[in-house]
């Protein structure tokens, strides 16, 4: 596992071979990969998912971050995501390569999908205190939005760091979107109530 993680950092997902992993694992026999994991891809997937979980834990908000004058918890998390583009770029690029491979490899897709499903309620609980056992639909929706933000922010910083949004930009944009959604919901509610007609008076 350690050798596979090192290869992901140094060579990426697509360029790593079984021999690379064996060499990184103190020249272990290549056959041990299949014996323990079934295939090179299964080992790389396990190494990548474990690394991504460690990365996710590192960027999640922590109580110790809540110091006077510090930005709001979500903005702190997005700032750490942006900072990780420099410190964890090889891992983030490797994850993008793995996602591309998932289009033609059902086993990779299943592993990534399972990791996503676990992460959704965890993010909702950690960031907003939403109990998935009490309100699974809300927890899943909120976690899905956060995962979309994390993925989109990461891709923008990997591709075009000169024009990618800051943590403040993301927070400001979400506030505007939230206000617009509330306004639209209120307008729709008013339109529905305005469309109702009073019952016709009955003759005495």
Cα angle 57-23-94, degrees, rounded to a multiple of 5: 35
Instruction: Determine, yes or no, domain membership for 15.
Output: no
**Integer Cα distance of 203 and 98 in angstroms:** 74
Residue 3 lies in a domain: no
Residue 46 lies in a domain: no
**Tens-digit pLDDT profile for residues 57-109:** 888 755 445 444 556 788 888 999 999 988 889 888 888 888 887 788 787 78
The reply to whether 136 falls in a domain is yes
- Has residue 42 been placed in a domain? no
pLDDT by 10s per residue, the chain, length 204? 888 889 888 888 888 899 999 998 888 888 888 888 888 888 888 888 888 888 888 887 554 454 445 567 888 889 999 999 888 898 888 888 888 877 887 877 888 888 889 999 999 998 899 999 999 999 999 999 999 999 999 999 999 999 999 999 999 999 999 999 999 998 888 777 765 545 555 544
How far is it, in rounded angstroms, from Cα 120 to Cα 146?
A: 8
Residue 85 lies in a domain: yes
pLDDT at residue 26, rounded to an integer: 85
Q: Is residue 122 part of a domain?
A: yes
| Residue 133 structural domain | 53-192
Report if residue 152 sits inside a domain.
yes
Helices marked H in the chain: 2-10, 18-24, 31-37, 40-59, 73-87, 89-101, 106-128, 136-159, 167-194
Measure the CA angle with vertex 8, ends 119 and 155; round to 5°. Answer: 55
- At 65 the three-state DSSP class reads helix
Number of domains in the chain: 1
Rounded to 5 degrees, φ, ψ at 95 are -65, -40
């Amino acid at each position: 596992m350690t050798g596979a993680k090192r290869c992901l950092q140094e060579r990426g997902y697509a360029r790593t071979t079984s021999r690379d992993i064996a060499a990184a694992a103190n020249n272990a026999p290549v056959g041990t990969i299949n014996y323990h994991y079934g295939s090179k891809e299964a080992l790389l997937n396990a190494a990548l998912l474990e690394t991504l979980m460690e990365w996710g834990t590192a960027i999640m908000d922590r109580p110790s971050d809540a110091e006077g004058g510090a930005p709001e918890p979500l903005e702190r998390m997005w700032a750490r995501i942006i900072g990780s583009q420099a410190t964890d770029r090889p891992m983030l690029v490797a994850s993008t390569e793995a996602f591309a491979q998932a289009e033609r490899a059902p086993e990779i897709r299943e592993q990534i999908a399972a990791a996503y499903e676990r992460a959704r309620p965890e993010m909702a609980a950690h960031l907003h205190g939403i109990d998935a056992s009490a309100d699974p639909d809300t927890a899943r929706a909120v976690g899905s939005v956060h995962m979309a933000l994390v993925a989109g922010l990461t891709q923008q910083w990997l591709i075009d760091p000169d024009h990618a949004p800051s943590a403040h930009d993301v927070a400001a944009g979400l506030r505007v979107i939230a206000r617009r959604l509330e306004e639209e919901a209120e307008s729709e509610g008013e339109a529905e109530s305005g469309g109702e007609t009073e019952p016709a008076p009955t003759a005495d």
